[in-house]
Amino acid sequence: MSNRAESVKPSHFDCPLVRDEMLPEFKAVRADSASFAKLPHVRQLLETCEANCEPVEQLPRLTYSLYQLYERTGNRRKYDNAQRKKRTSAASAALLAIFRDEQRWIDILQDLVWSICEETCWVPPEHIKHNPIDLFSSETAFMLAEIEHLLGDQLDEAVRRRIRAELKVRILDPYLANEYGWSDGHNNWTGVCERSVGSTFLYLEQDSDRMARAINRVLEGLSKFVERAFLADGGSSEGIGYWQYGLINTVNFSALLRERTGGEVNFLAHDKFKKIALYPLAVQTGPESFYSVSDSAGGASFAPGMIARLAERTDVDGILALINKHTANVGPDRFPHAIRSVLWWDGKLHQPPRIDDYLLPDTGVARIVDERHNVVLIAKAGHNNENHNQNDVGSFALYVGGEPMICDPGPGLYDKEYFGPNRYENPLCGSYGHSVPRIAGRVQPPGEEYGGRIAAFDIKPATKTIGIEFAGAYGIADLTELSRTITLATGSGDTGEIVLEDRYVFTGQPLPVEEAFTTWAPVSVGHDGTAVIHGTDCQLELRIVEPDNAQFEVEDLSVAEKGSGGSTATLRRLACRLTTGGESFKLKLLVTN
């Protein structure tokens, strides 16, 4: 296959780079940037750029004390935010310089670029010990290399020389001289780092032997990424946010390499990309919401340029529906993504995709839908050593009109503790904060050996069923079977009805079981085995059918959320302790407006 690393020979890279050759669509912009600037989606982008472009003297300083804050307190946000803000300002200034013929944007851009080159280290403190080249440094390199290439003589020669010198010392030479753990392909790091480094080489490297060595390594890493970071069905255990983060960078690099080699090396021709491209359509839960599995949040936005190019190269036109008023994002936070949303996207918005029943058998994710009552239920099996892992085998989330009534809690606050040895004591990461049982007081332990499987996916005219076997998620010798069956009664009347049944089989005396369901919404508990989750536009009533003497109690879990900038939020855990030695738990859930 032409996209395999083994097919790439030094002769493919032994000629000097030709301006415009790698991003040919930019020729039209250079010829008439003023006309492009009048296009509605470009005009909107430039307005956002103006709002985000701050001169370097107005930006927070990246001081030693700020860098050390992570080691001293565990806080990574302050340094990361300051670092990102400078790069967003640089990207904004570059876009304004391209589309508006004003020297002031060049002046602001050159000061920002010079300041970035002056930084002691491009690697943020949370990554410095293990990754001389990391996500942020490699993305910084790609941005600077592309700005230098596209703006060319608009930049002072001293600035261009400085960019090239810094990238050689910080990225190009270290990449060839060292091995990096992120090249193993297991998660988004490979997609981000390999493609960013590869793109930087394509723009700057003039030595054909060094170029061939680098691109061969990049392609080998990206082949591993496609093989290992995505399951055979195209699914990502990291969730929708990291699906895009790793893939968008891969698409950008692949397009550059395709042009640089005259179409001879086309990495997106890999057969598996068709399945990978479909993943967002499998985990969408509403017009603006997605399954918040692992450390991916429930909201998602997409770079239109990447989606449009991925659809074109894979012939999966269905994903163009992701470019809609809810999820299209043409912001300037990353220059390569923003410029491609101008070059590769026609500015058209689409209707959100239809949400239908979907099964990813290898990923262990299943979705069933009751369109009549606007209900989407999505459940997972998998194992407890996935990328950005949370111990959540057998869990499910229930959405009504896109609102999570029973939730997967999603990511917490990214700090030193969150990724430390006590990660699973955080209810957002441990199974205590997910909608799964505790058996004999035990939660699910981390590890690939603790897992489950989708055992049933049955779609009938009046009912839809997901079945999960997940006794293996607990590592309890006396627990020989634990099955969960969730059924939507799609033919019911004015009330949407869901039935959940868990069955347990033990080798000896039954062990005590505590069922639990989590939600961000307010909860009220009755005294008759019922509880009500109060959503914005609907209610979800939970009625315990079996055993008949069981009762609910609610526990408030205070957690720090990533998405809220570290503020405390309340996750409600609705629990039911089974007081008899029964073998099953049956729950009826009713959706009412």
Rounded to whole angstroms, the Cα distance separating 114 from 117 reads: 5
Averaged pLDDT, 415-430: 94
Tell me the pLDDT tens digit for each residue of 467-526.
999 999 999 999 999 999 999 998 766 677 999 999 999 998 889 999 999 999 999 999
9 pLDDT more than 60: no
CB atoms within 10 A of CB 104: 12
Where would I find the beta strands (DSSP E) of 184-259?
none
Rounded to whole angstroms, the Cα distance separating 377 from 466 reads: 9
Rounded to whole angstroms, the Cα distance separating 284 from 355 reads: 7
pLDDT at 166: 98
% of the chain with per-residue pLDDT over 90: 82
Considering all CA atoms of the chain, what is the largest pairwise distance in Å, rounded to the nearest integer? 80
Tell me the pLDDT tens digit for each residue of 143-158.
999 999 999 999 999 9
Averaged pLDDT, 391-408: 95
Which band of pLDDT confidence, cut at 50, 70 and 90, is reported for residue 131? confident
Q: Considering the chain, tell me which residue range(s) the CATH 1.50.10.100 domain(s) occupy.
A: 5-29+129-343
Nearest to 557 by CA among 572, 579, 574, 568: 572
Q: How far is CA 434 from CA 33, 395, 519, 555, 582, in A?
A: 51, 6, 9, 13, 23
Instruction: Give the right CATH number for 358-592 from 1.20.1080.10, 3.90.870.10, 2.70.98.70, 2.60.40.420.
Output: 2.70.98.70
Averaged pLDDT, 436-445: 96
Nearest to 240 by CA among 473, 49, 54, 410: 410
Convert 115-157 into a string of H (helix), E (strand) and C (coil).
Answer: HHHHCCCCCCCCCCCCCCCCHHHHHHHHHHHHHHHHHHHHCCH
Residue appearing with tokens 């603790």: 450
pLDDT at 563: 64
Which band of pLDDT confidence, cut at 50, 70 and 90, is reported for residue 266? confident
Residue appearing with tokens 């040919």: 24
Instruction: Provide the angle, in degrees to the nearest 10, between the axes of the packed helices 335-343 and 77-99.
Output: 40
Helix, strand, coil fractions of the chain, as percent rounded to 5: 40, 20, 40
Rounded to two decimals, the pTM is 0.93
Q: Considering the chain, tell me which residue range(s) the CATH 2.70.98.70 domain(s) occupy.
A: 358-592
The answer to whether the beta carbons of residues 339 and 300 sit under 8 Å apart is no
Which band of pLDDT confidence, cut at 50, 70 and 90, is reported for residue 565? low
Burial class (CB within 10 angstroms; exposed 0-12, middle 13-18, buried 19+) of 537:
exposed
Rounded to whole angstroms, the Cα distance separating 293 from 386 reads: 11
Tell me the pLDDT tens digit for each residue of 63-122.
999 999 999 999 999 999 999 999 999 999 999 999 998 999 999 999 999 999 999 999
401 pLDDT more than 80: yes
Per the prediction, the chain carries an average pLDDT of 91
216 pLDDT more than 70: yes
Averaged pLDDT, 386-391: 94
Which band of pLDDT confidence, cut at 50, 70 and 90, is reported for residue 4? very low
% of the chain with per-residue pLDDT over 70: 95
The answer to whether the beta carbons of residues 121 and 128 sit under 8 Å apart is yes
465 pLDDT more than 80: yes
pLDDT at 494: 63
CATH of domain 5-29+129-343: 1.50.10.100
Both structure tokens of 177: 């001289």
Burial class (CB within 10 angstroms; exposed 0-12, middle 13-18, buried 19+) of 308:
buried
Positive or negative: CA dihedral 134, 179, 212, 267: negative
